[in-house]
Amino acid sequence: MKQSAMIAALSVVLCSVTLARADADAQTSDSSSVAPPASTQPALQVQNVDLLERYPTALTEGDTKPDQARSWEFTDGDIFRVTQFRLEVGKQLRVEVGPADVGIGHCADGAVWAVVIPRANGTLTSPVASKAEAIANVWLRFHPAQIDRLFTPDTVFTDGDSHLTAQMRAIAMAKMTSSWQAGGKALIPEPKDMTVYVDTQDGSHRFFGVDTQAQTAEYVAAFNRQASGPISATSIPPVVVKTVPEAGSKDVSPGEFEIKVTFSKEMRDRSWSWSTAWENSTPEDLGKPRYEADHKTCVLKVKLEPNKTYGFWLNSEKFTGFRDKQGRPAVPYLLVFQTKGN
């Protein structure tokens, strides 16, 4: 596990000692004073950090195979100070933060997420609101090779506030399931793709799917329905933790098949949203959906054609039928898979 000591700069004051000397005419040369050696304790230095060197990666492409999902780590040694953070995507999204602390979640293949907490002011500007919104924190998901483009080495320093460890970890646990994950483990997006998820100081939640190549930022309003206030396992919305078949599967057998979706919480019965991801993206259904006895797994029996790609939105901005027993809509999840040929 990677560690880096979080240190504050110290100044060492070297004190000169004036030696008393006897008057040259006095006969007291045998009682002259001897000066103690001056302190040579070195000053601890705050240093710049290249986060790509700290969290190196050999990955050049995305990897969204569920069976390749990576476990991630985060400790107080992964918190740094940044002098500023700025992200602008066309005219659709601008995030501006001054001095801040940033926490980096990482796996064996490099950095996979970041949490930015402003020390002073930070603003979000987007078409969602009529004026700039004050930022409480920013959650970022990205390809590991992009870390030093988001946080350039000249802006990153070692003296981050390690007292924020618990808060940053809570944010990560709540937000990790929003995109590019399987069972809470990290999937790797393409280098051009990002998630920018901002909590504002007035309690709003602004989720954007960003394509840095196309310079687009798609706002997903469903995330703004999440409850504000203290984060806990019961207060956050349900998320998909498992699907059968797994998202991204390319060898599903054609014919009659039961698609199963398991959520993180018990769900409201007879309430669901199996929506199309594109025109004619869903197979023929062979009955109504149902929940299994655990009240977490929803089952839809379908007929799959050979050599075809299928896609469902399990909840979306428009349809929010999947809800927990308290009525909170599940975080939208895109399930795409492909069948084998005959």
More confident residue, 170 or 299: 299
- What is the reported pTM? 0.59
Where in the chain are the domains? 51-225, 240-338
- Predicted confidence (pLDDT) per residue in 282-297, tens digit: 999 999 999 999 999 9
pLDDT band per the 50, 70, 90 thresholds, residue 21: very low
**What is the average pLDDT value for the chain, to the nearest integer?**
85
| Cβ neighbours of residue 124 closer than 8 Å, sequence gap 6 or more | 93, 94, 95, 132, 133, 135, 198, 200, 206
**How is residue 16 annotated by DSSP?**
P
Candidates 171, 220, 208, 196; CA nearest to 330 is 220
pLDDT of residue 10: 28
| Cβ neighbours of residue 264 closer than 8 Å, sequence gap 6 or more | 177, 238, 239, 240, 241, 296
| Cβ neighbours of residue 154 closer than 8 Å, sequence gap 6 or more | 48
The whole-number average pLDDT for the span 88-99 is 95
The whole-number average pLDDT for the span 28-53 is 60
High-pLDDT (> 70) share of the chain, %: 84
pLDDT band per the 50, 70, 90 thresholds, residue 19: very low
Structure tokens at 258: 């039961």
Candidates 112, 282, 106; CA nearest to 195 is 112
| Cβ neighbours of residue 297 closer than 8 Å, sequence gap 6 or more | 260, 261, 262, 263, 291
- Predicted confidence (pLDDT) per residue in 58-67, tens digit: 999 999 888 8
Q: 240-338: what CATH class?
A: mainly beta
